[in-house]
Amino acid sequence: MRTVEVLLDEAAELAVREAWRRLADAGLPSQARHRSPTNSPHLTLAACPELTAPIRWELAEVAAALPLPVRFTGVVRFERPTSVLAWALELDSALAELHRRVWEAVASDSPPTALKPFHAPARWSPHITLGRTRRPGAFAGRWVPDLLPAPPLSVRLTTLRSYDTETGTLEALEPRP
């Protein structure tokens, strides 16, 4: 699979990494424990089996729309089938449009059954993962959000990229010249 992700500005990345560190220091699941050099705070927009030429063409147009300002709205937890603790992002019209364009790009040249339904525009919940585990309820304690620093007030989504889950490689998705 190939993900389509967008990276955060430097200040937001540092704040997320601080949240990762605090979770790890408290003995909780944290993305800080994911030691791969490809691990960085990001917002996943979609995933598809491959980035074909038509998909790449559309994503180059999406990349030209960056940077995009967004706002964190607070802590969110998911249980699907993994437990996830994250900072949620406000799904304003600009972020919704960016996501819609990415979804339409990957859907335009991918088998529908290969797409993750939770990335579909009607179901997508924009968030930056702080910790993830297969242990149900790992973040259920009311004290967990108190461990975290406050998310930054202003954030910019800066760079579109793709991660290849088979090879473990990253690729920046640049705008067309």
Contact (CB, 8 A) for 91 and 122 = no
Q: Which two tokens stand for residue 110?
A: 């991918």
- Taking only the tens place, the pLDDT of each residue in 28-39 is 999 999 878 778
Tell me what pLDDT residue 153 has.
87
Pairing of the two strands 82-89 and 169-172: unpaired
Tell me what pLDDT residue 142 has.
77
Percent of the chain scored above 90 by pLDDT? 85
DSSP-based three-state secondary structure for 53:
helix
Contact (CB, 8 A) for 51 and 135 = no
- Taking only the tens place, the pLDDT of each residue in 63-107 is 999 999 999 999 999 987 889 999 999 999 999 999 999 999 999
- Taking only the tens place, the pLDDT of each residue in 161-177 is 999 999 999 999 999 87
Tell me what pLDDT residue 140 has.
85
Tell me what pLDDT residue 143 has.
85
With tokens 């560190």, the residue in question is 21
Tell me what pLDDT residue 145 has.
85
Check residue 118 and report its DSSP letter. G
With tokens 């702080």, the residue in question is 130
- Its pTM stands at 0.93
Q: Which of 141 and 49 is assigned the larger pLDDT?
A: 49
CB contact set of 13 (below 8 Å; sequence gap of 6+): 7, 40, 41
- As beta bridge partners, residue 93 has none
